[in-house]
Amino acid sequence: MTRFAHSAALRTAWYPVALATDVGDQPLAVRLLGEDLVLWRSGDGSAVAAPDRCPHREAPLSLGTVTNGDLACAYHGWSFGDGGRCVSVPSSGPDATIPPTAHLSCVKVQERYGLVWVCPGEPASEIPRIAQEDDPVFRRLNTEVEQWATSSPRLVDNFMDFSHFPWVHTGTFGGAQDPYVPKIELSQLDDDFFGYSYEVDAANPDEATAVSGSDEDVVHRVMSTGFALPFVVRSTIRYADWLEPILLLCSTPVDDVTSLFTFVVWRNDDHSIDPEGILAFDRAIGAEDKAMLEQVPGTLPLERVGLVSVQSDKPSVEWRRRFAAMIGVE
Ligand code: FES
Ligand SMILES: [Fe+2]
């Protein structure tokens, strides 16, 4: 198994760790790349992320409470406001000078696509751009952030691969697909995503009609799937020449063998379809991947000789090659 979570290069990327709506007036504990962080929303409405460790006696700040945007530690009540600035040390009285080392060393935060993204170090890249976010024809649907007992490299390997659809996804859309995978050509799909285009026939059970916009038993999907290093995957789907859902599949490494997973959907439908009907089917697809991946032990071997790969693995092998180069694995 190739450990990766300690890699310095991974500290320069952005990771979605929570729904924006989950960061509010309760501290939220998240673990990213093996480090514990606390998130809350400060008085100016911005999300704050900092190590989940009080500078006083190291109590987890996520045990504290937020009042008017200030997070008070549960142990001795020191409290922290905008930008993690320590604003109160109750035992020293209201007029005491706050020690300069009492302020929190915050980590960088951005809110994008309904998600709170964190970069634990100095950002070396941007959050991948999704053009449909600014297109009023598209609406965005978010779903919860789940913790999966699998490594983020295995998630990306899975999302870049469509040869598992007729095996893992028989309970949802995979049952109508020819298992044969024609020759795959990889290309730069746009400025941010590298991947490939392909076409599949997808089963279209009753639960899928809201997603596909069709009540046929089988629908044809024209698709592209691409990655943005390290762990973001985007799939585009076109049904019947007009409906074009975009899925952003976000894997965030909690540690080497645990991940946060959430997906975001943009759709150019007439906005009348109940979002829950759409998300329920996509969640069921995710649950099929989760059930398989949680049975595969350890993280994905990154060395070239570690696994047997065939033609249909070309996209995930290319992701693995670039990811290994990024973190310095030969
Ligand atoms: S440990 Fe947080 S205030 Fe003392
Ligand atoms: Fe899958």
Q: What is the 3-state secondary structure (H, E, C) of the chain?
A: CCCCCCCCHHHHCCEEEEEHHHCCCCCEEEEECCEEEEEEECCCCCEEEEECCCCCCCCCHHHCEEECCEEECCCCCCEECHHHCEEECHHHCCCCCCCHHHCCCCEEEEEECCEEEEECCCCCCCCCCCHHHHCCCCEEEECCCEEECCCHHHHHHHHCCCCCHHHHCCCCCHHHCCCCCCCCCCEECCCCCEEEEEEEEEECCHHHHHHHCCCCCEEEEEEEEEEECCCEEEEEEEECCCECCEEEEEEEEEECCEEEEEEEEEECCCCCCCHHHHHHHHHHHHHHHHHHHCCCCCCCCCCHHHCCCCHHHHHHHHHHHHHHHHHCCC
Which of 76, 79, 89, 104 has most ligand 1 atoms within 8 Å of CB, for mutation?
76
Mean pLDDT score, 208-221:
88
Give the distance (Å) from ligand 1 centre to CA of residue 59.
6
Give the distance (Å) from ligand 2 centre to CA of residue 289.
5
Give the distance (Å) from ligand 2 centre to CA of residue 97.
56
The ligand 1 site (C-beta within 6 Å) comprises 54, 56-57, 59, 73, 75-78
Q: How far, in Å, CA of 110 to CA of 125, rounded?
A: 13
Give the distance (Å) from ligand 1 centre to CA of residue 102.
10
Give the distance (Å) from ligand 2 centre to CA of residue 259.
16
Q: Is 71 exposed, middle or buried (0-12, 13-18, 19+ CB in 10 A)?
A: buried
Mean pLDDT score, 52-72:
98
Nearest CA to ligand 1 atom 1: 57
Residue 255 has pLDDT above 70, yes or no: yes
**CB neighbours (10 Å) of residue 297?**
10
Residue 96 has pLDDT above 70, yes or no: yes
Give the distance (Å) from ligand 2 centre to CA of residue 89.
51
Residue 1 has pLDDT above 80, yes or no: no
- Token duo for residue 83: 């930008």
Residue-wise pLDDT for 64-91, tens only, equals 999 999 999 999 999 999 999 999 999 9
Residue 138 has pLDDT above 90, yes or no: yes
Task: Work out the pLDDT band at 93, boundaries 50, 70, 90.
Answer: very high
What pTM value is reported for the model?
A: 0.95
**CB neighbours (10 Å) of residue 44?**
10
Q: What is the mean pLDDT of the chain?
A: 95
The atom number, within ligand 1, closest to the CA of 77 reads 3
Residue-wise pLDDT for 260-302, tens only, equals 999 999 999 888 888 998 899 999 999 999 999 999 999 999 9
pLDDT at 212: 87
| Angle, alpha carbons 3-6-10 (nearest 5°) | 105
Give the distance (Å) from ligand 1 centre to CA of residue 324.
40
Surrounding ion ligand 2 within 5 Å at CB are 289
Residue 175 has pLDDT above 90, yes or no: no
Which of 38, 52, 53, 56 has most ligand 1 atoms within 8 Å of CB, for mutation?
56
Nearest CA to ligand 1 atom 3: 76
The contacts of residue 151 (CB under 8 Å, 6+ apart) are: 4, 253, 256, 257, 258, 259, 298, 299, 300
Which of 52, 54, 103 has most ligand 1 atoms within 8 Å of CB, for mutation?
54
Q: How far, in Å, CA of 165 to CA of 270, rounded?
A: 28
Which of 38, 63, 73 has most ligand 1 atoms within 8 Å of CB, for mutation?
73
Residue-wise pLDDT for 99-136, tens only, equals 999 999 999 999 999 999 999 999 999 999 999 999 99
Residue 330 has pLDDT above 90, yes or no: no
